[in-house]
Amino acid sequence: IFVNLVIPRRNEVELVSIVIPVYNCETKLKRCLQSVQKQTYKDIEVLIVNDGSTDNSLQVCEEFCKQDVRFHVFNQKNHGVSYSRNQGIKKANGQYLMFVDGDDEVLPDMVQQYIVSAKNGRADVVIGGLQMMKQNGDIVYKVPTVYGNIDKTKLWEMICEDNTGTFGYVPNKLYRLQLIVEENILFREDMSAQEDLEFALSAFSKCKKVRCIDYCGYRYYYDIGKREMPLVDLVSNQRKILQQAKNAGVSSQKCKNIKRKIQDAAYVSIFRAENYKKIKQISQLFKKEDFGDINNLPKEMKMSLFLFSHQRYFILYVYFRMRNSVKRILGKETI
């Protein structure tokens, strides 16, 4: 956490646009909006996009707009979180852009920490950490592993090696709005998951300077296993990382973690397939080169991916059905 902040002089202060998509979260929304309202950095505009809520979320938003001229609510029919965030981007007037979810909260100095870091590092993107708030009260801190301004090669190396998800989350980042607008970077509305990572990857590929900080000012409340990850979205993003990493000159050794994630996705999807036709359908998302380096994988995974890459779909299906039947008889869990 930063100790010695260089606070911008009044004539250097820049507006930060904070986009908050809202959908049926009235019980937690007041906590969220109060935490944004209490920011020590006062030059903010809060763009709340009510995505067709059927509870009292809209009324909560309207009350804050009456109390604070910096708050603005936009009401729309339900279109989903990506559409809502995109509407917020289009309405933003600030020099910088941040995102907050309506059921989360932020610490009072969050915006100030990010804006100071952006100005001191002359960064287009600032990436910080998060406090992951579990239902049992435990807190897990997720932070970047390297701090300060990061060159492009190092950035993509970090993304390749990251297993925390830090680079994909929406709310632990600040963007220069000009970059987002000029490069026409928007959230993919056709993705049902990982649209946040896809948005971030697009920004990383276009920006000039990225700065990482060890500050965790965002409290992210989540339910484990709340949303299943669609295979097509997961694989698409990993391929995008792999391509950008290669473009940035990242070594093949550093890229191995991404290749392993693609292999893991293939293996798990094969295991869960209802029939061999589904396995054949899954195969369309993968390329033969995805399985060119599988010698160091666990024995079963290696065998499965070898058969998969050689189009032995029916054999794979029969194997996993028999394997799981035996494990159930023996009282052992399956993945």
Question: pLDDT tens across 198-208, in order?
Answer: 999 999 999 99
Spatial distance between the Cα atoms of 131 and 219, rounded to a whole number of angstroms = 5
Query: How does residue 179 score in pLDDT terms, banded at 50, 70 and 90?
Result: very high
- CA distances (Å), 15 to each of 36, 46, 139, 177, in order? 14, 11, 31, 10
Contact 58, 77 (CB under 8 A): no
**In the predicted structure, residue 118 carries a pLDDT above the cut 90:** yes
Pick from 41, 50, 182, 52: which is nearest to 117 by CA? 41
The pTM of this model reads 0.88
Spatial distance between the Cα atoms of 148 and 153, rounded to a whole number of angstroms = 14
pLDDT tens column, 283-305:
999 988 898 889 889 999 999 99
Spatial distance between the Cα atoms of 233 and 139, rounded to a whole number of angstroms = 28
**In the predicted structure, residue 45 carries a pLDDT above the cut 90:** yes
At 261, the amino acid letter reads: K
Spatial distance between the Cα atoms of 47 and 98, rounded to a whole number of angstroms = 10
Name the 3-class secondary structure at 119: helix
Beta-ladder partners of 22 = 50
- At 7, list the tokens: 């606070």
Give the pLDDT confidence score for residue 1 in this predicted structure.
41
